[in-house]
Amino acid sequence: MELRQLRYFVTVVEEGGFTRAAARLHLAQPGLSAQIRQLEKELGQPLLDRSNRSVTLTEVGRSVLPYARAALAAADAVRQTVDEHTGLLRGRVTLGLVSGATGHAFDVASFLADFHSTHPALEIALTEDTSERMQAALLAGEIDIALLGPTGEEPPPGLSYRTVIDAPLAAAVAPGDPLLTPTDRTSVPLADLCDRPLICLPRGTGVRAALERACAQAGFRPRVTFEAASPHVLAQLATRGLGVAVLPLGEDEPALGGRLCTLQIVEPRIRARIVLAWPAAGPVSPAARALLDRLREALESSTLRR
């Protein structure tokens, strides 16, 4: 019995068939089937029932499965222990990123390239989504770490936050917009946006959640007529006079070279945060722990330079 045969067996069970398991393992299906049959021959009992269109476990297979998984986990733990002593990181780590999360203050691509250069045996994945869905993915163990805009004042149970950016929300408008009268104003009451078409990030993002909470407390619903995942796109729409873009103060300036005028939203002042989020119990794998530590250092340095 070989460890790889146990891994093949577990993969077939998890994928529910040989075709998808072969694709996941990057093997030819006949070769995978042959290895499973060899394992069954050595054990003297069939582990999988192939009589139906979908592959199912036999009674013996159900009994063997937990031990196969335990053997694989033990083998992975052996590798992990050795790697920790040698300083080598393996496996896969996934970073979630809300679109526009770090603006121009933090170069994510360069950071990941440097991290990969230090740990070449480690597979790094980057995924973009709304903050709401990334919080759920963190809790489900689908991603390891995320930079997101929290949709609530406090972290949900099971997550830890570290604030990276905390900026006031502003109304960004094209020159000549009525909100800019009088010309010396630097802020706008939230009530003045009540009947204006707004341009904002989609639901599930921290900025949108902060705006909707403040509007609800003020007694009205925001009239969002355009939404996009990229703050740059929101600013472009506002530049063409299609509405008032609601953005963290200063978000539009690097992107559009001052073609928008920004007024801080007041009465009440609304703030939007970007946080580094991870499971409260801490990242499970050494790779995720190393990425979190490096991210903390890089973001702290980036924040200090701002």
Find the angle CA(149)-CA(150)-CA(151) to the nearest 5 degrees: 115
Q: Which pLDDT belongs to residue 87?
A: 56
Quick check: 123 and 197 in contact, CB under 8 A? no
Give the pLDDT confidence score for residue 101 in this predicted structure: 56
pLDDT tens, N- to C-terminus, the chain (306 residues): 889 999 999 999 988 889 889 998 888 999 999 999 999 999 999 999 988 777 889 999 999 999 999 998 888 778 767 766 555 466 788 999 886 555 545 678 888 888 888 888 788 888 888 888 899 999 888 899 999 888 777 888 899 998 888 889 999 999 989 999 888 889 999 999 999 999 998 888 888 888 999 999 999 999 999 998 888 888 899 999 999 999 888 654 544 546 889 999 999 999 888 889 999 887 777 788 888 888 888 877 665 444
> Distance (Å, rounded) from C-alpha 183 to C-alpha 175?
10
**Predicted pLDDT of residue 145:** 92
Q: In the CATH scheme, what is the homologous superfamily, with its name and number, of domain 166-273?
A: Periplasmic binding protein-like II (3.40.190.10)
Collect all residues with Cβ–Cβ distance below 8 Å to 245 and sequence separation of at least 6: 171, 172, 173, 198, 199, 200, 234, 235, 237, 238, 252, 260
Q: Same CATH topology for 3-86 and 91-164+274-305?
A: no
Q: What is the pLDDT of residue 305?
A: 43
Report domain extents, the chain: 3-86, 91-164+274-305, 166-273
CATH superfamily of 91-164+274-305: Periplasmic binding protein-like II (3.40.190.10)
Task: For residues 202 and 171, give the distance between their C-alpha atoms in angstroms, rounded to a whole number.
Answer: 16
Contacts of 290 (CB under 8 A, 6+ apart): 89, 119
SS3 of residue 25 by DSSP: helix
- The dihedral built from the CA positions of residue 69, 72, 77 and 83, taken in this order, carries a sign that is negative
Per-residue pLDDT, 121: 77
At residue 169, φ and ψ (nearest 5 deg) are -80, 145
Based on its alpha-carbon atoms, the radius of gyration of the chain, rounded to whole angstroms, reads 26
Is the pTM here over 0.75, yes or no?
no
Structurally, at CATH architecture level, domain 3-86 sits in: Orthogonal Bundle (1.10)
Q: Which residues contact 30 (CB under 8 A, 6 or more apart)?
A: none
